[in-house]
Amino acid sequence: MNLKEKIIQVSQEIGISKIGFTTADDFAYLEKSLRAGVEEGRTTGFEHKNIEERIDPKFSLASAKTIISIAIAYPRRLPQKPQKTQYRRGKITPNSWGLDYHYIVQDKLERLARAIEELTADFEYKGMVDTGALVDTAVARRAGIGFIGKNGLVISKEFGSYMFLGELVTNLVIEADSPVDYDCGDCNRCVTACPTSCLLGDSTMDARRCLSFQTQDKGMMDLEFRKKMKTVIYGCDVCQICCPYNKGIDSPPVVAIDPDLAQPELLPFLELSNGQFKEKFGMIAGSWRGKNILQRNAIIALANAHDRSAIPKLLEIIDKMQNPIHAATAIWALGQLIKEPDEGMVSFVQEIKSDHPEVLAEQAAFLKIAKGL
């Protein structure tokens, strides 16, 4: 076997679902769209800031000649249902089930790199997963992992779009693979199914309108997105659920998945301290934004689930006023759960004392509706 064949064999042995090879030539064609996204305010702010580094692999590794792209398929259905309890459950999207995928992909890349070091001398490399400089989807497309769909995700016939991506920028000289010869065609399902119309139809999006971003953004969630997130407290999967390439595909778990964490009980979730949150959810990808943002989402999810058993907890959150964003969100949730508040409830909201602008705004909105103004 030649070096490429040996690397492919090793990748299969360590559990990499698909591997592809491409040159370390630049991705200059991306520059226009990347700059447009920034200038038009369509980026999340989580992206790597230096666009030159995003489009030229040699900024990451001066000796770069070949990029090895890998994909690790993950399941889109829970291996088993969570246990039944008295509490309504929220949802966390499949890319955040089990151990944080950054650790999973980094481990696979490191194991692959160590194996390559045993196969060839003077091996240099730089591994990247999601938070690196390069655009993972562009690398994967050029390396033949799959095509970039209208939802902006890499899609393959074998695994659909439920794949974690990563790459090794290397100094190896290896024959490049070709991009796949299939694509979305005339299908537009993800564009029309997107709850917030964030997909632009050309594989780009207004990322700030994506519900996945909204569940990770700080502060108050804009009113237009609250009901659209339903009971999902982290992520959004609508554009994957409706994709024909995902039909009939459900890859096995990469690591153990606890269904009770994938669909957490909402009311108990609001009781978690920082320490308890880290202990219970700290290993999942969705934990990176911290407890407070996800608890804000859980308050919204309780309202969207029409869970009136949450009312006492919402009143407690408002009364304690420990977190103004939680309190403001709880006032909104009260308005959703109590369509015709009695005098006692109106009086309670009216007497809320706070100088926080979001609390004042939600208080005014609640009272305006309650008083029929």
pLDDT tens per residue across span 103-127: 999 999 999 999 999 999 999 999 9
Query: Which residue blocks in the chain are alpha helix, DSSP H?
Result: 3-13, 31-39, 51-55, 101-119, 136-142, 189-193, 211-214, 223-226, 238-241, 259-262, 266-270, 274-281, 291-304, 311-320, 324-337, 343-350, 357-370
Q: What is the pLDDT of residues 24-66, one digit of tens each?
A: 999 999 999 899 888 888 888 778 888 999 999 999 999 999 9
130 is catalytic: yes
Answer yes or no: is 351 within a domain.
Answer: no
Answer yes or no: is 334 within a domain.
Answer: no
Q: What is the pLDDT of residues 281-330, one digit of tens each?
A: 999 999 998 999 999 999 999 999 999 999 999 999 999 999 999 999 99
Please tell me the total count of domains within the chain. 1
| Amino acid residing at 345 | M
Answer yes or no: is 198 within a domain.
Answer: yes
Mean pLDDT of the chain: 96
Q: Output the CA angle 249-251-254, nearest 5 degrees.
A: 165
Answer yes or no: is 113 within a domain.
Answer: yes
Among residues 25, 26, 107, 130, which one is catalytic? 130
Q: What is the pLDDT of residue 373?
A: 56
Q: What is the pLDDT of residue 44?
A: 81
Q: What is the pLDDT of residue 87?
A: 98
52-to-97, 105, 369 alpha-carbon distances in Å: 33, 25, 51
Q: What is the pLDDT of residue 91?
A: 98
pTM of the model: 0.94
| Closest alpha carbon to 66 in 142, 164, 168 | 168
Q: Which domain holds residue 214?
A: 1-264
Answer yes or no: is 99 within a domain.
Answer: yes
Adjacent-strand bridge partners of 72: 164
Q: What is the pLDDT of residues 183-218, one digit of tens each?
A: 999 999 999 999 999 999 999 999 999 999 999 999
Percent of the chain with pLDDT over 70: 100
Q: Please say if the pLDDT value at position 252 is more than 70.
A: yes
When pLDDT is averaged across residues 233-248 and rounded to a whole number, the result is 97
Q: Tokens in use for 68?
A: 């090895």
Answer yes or no: is 117 within a domain.
Answer: yes
Q: Please say if the pLDDT value at position 372 is more than 80.
A: no
| Closest alpha carbon to 76 in 198, 250, 265, 295 | 250
| Amino acid residing at 91 | K
Q: What is the pLDDT of residue 49?
A: 83
Backbone angles phi, psi at 291, to 5 degrees: -65, -45
DSSP string, 227-256: GGGTTEEE---HHHHT-GGGTT--PPPSS-
For the purposes of burial, counting CB atoms within 10 Å of the CB of 335, is it exposed (0-12), middle (13-18) or buried (19 or more)?
buried
The Cα–Cα gap between 291 and 259 comes to: 19
Give the helix, strand, coil percentages of the chain, each rounded to 5. 45, 10, 45
Question: Three-state SS for 209?
Answer: helix
Q: What is the pLDDT of residues 357-367, one digit of tens each?
A: 999 999 999 99
Answer yes or no: is 250 within a domain.
Answer: yes
Q: What is the pLDDT of residue 293?
A: 98
The Cα–Cα gap between 69 and 345 comes to: 57
Q: What is the pLDDT of residue 211?
A: 98
Answer yes or no: is 274 within a domain.
Answer: no
